[in-house]
Structure 1
């Protein structure tokens, strides 16, 4: 008899707790949508997953921060060609994205010094 009573209390308690958590979650989403935080967070997640950092690009091409644009292009050409001939299309695309990322960095730096 006591076991049945305890089981019923546990089931009722978990139902009440579940509804309370669901209500709190809905309220949090509602508040996030009102302030625009939800949209900003989603956009940041999308942006972060697609863009390559400068550090990652330098690691892929095997260059340092002090490398010239000519050195970047030499590394790019070498790695791109190696992966074009029986290599990996995935690696080839990573090399290309790394060059694009660094191209933007070098263009910005040249505008700042000019």
Structure 2
């Protein structure tokens, strides 16, 4: 008898939870369509994932200026990369790596003396 009651409670509870999730999803879609987020996501799904980092953003991430030597940039990169590898996030670690890559192309285009590679 107790098993039958428990099974009925589980079935009823899952039905209620399922309806609540569907209702919450519908409400989220309505909110997104009102604010225009859904249309923006639909129109630009690829461009958002492939955003190219600007030189200014790369410098801000690494905390360097335009006058910073390449060796100092490498020191900042190593420090930030290792700190995020130990107790940071993979997302921040990848941002630091992308910033170094961005600045590496900038320094290489300036001349062979500025970037050691």
| 1:85 match: secondary structure | helix
Give CA deviations for 1:42-92 in whole Å, capped at 9, x if unaligned: 8xx838952000000000000000001101100000000000002111000
Matching of residue 91 in structure 1 with residue 55 in structure 2: no
1:76 — aligned with what? 77
Q: For 1:1-114, what aligned pairs fall within 5 Å after superposition?
A: 46=47, 49-110=50-111
Give the direction of change, closer, same or farther, for the CA distance of 1:52–1:109 in structure 2 (3 Å limit): same
CA distance in 1, matches of 2:65, 2:87: 28
Runs of 4+ more than 3 Å apart: none
| 2:87 match: secondary structure | coil
CA distance in 1, matches of 2:85, 2:53: 21
Give the direction of change, closer, same or farther, for the CA distance of 1:70–1:89 in structure 2 (3 Å limit): same
CA distance in 1, matches of 2:83, 2:49: 28
Larger helix proportion, structure 1 or 2?
1
Aligned length: 70
Gaps of 5+ in 1: 1-41
Gaps of 5+ in 2: 1-43
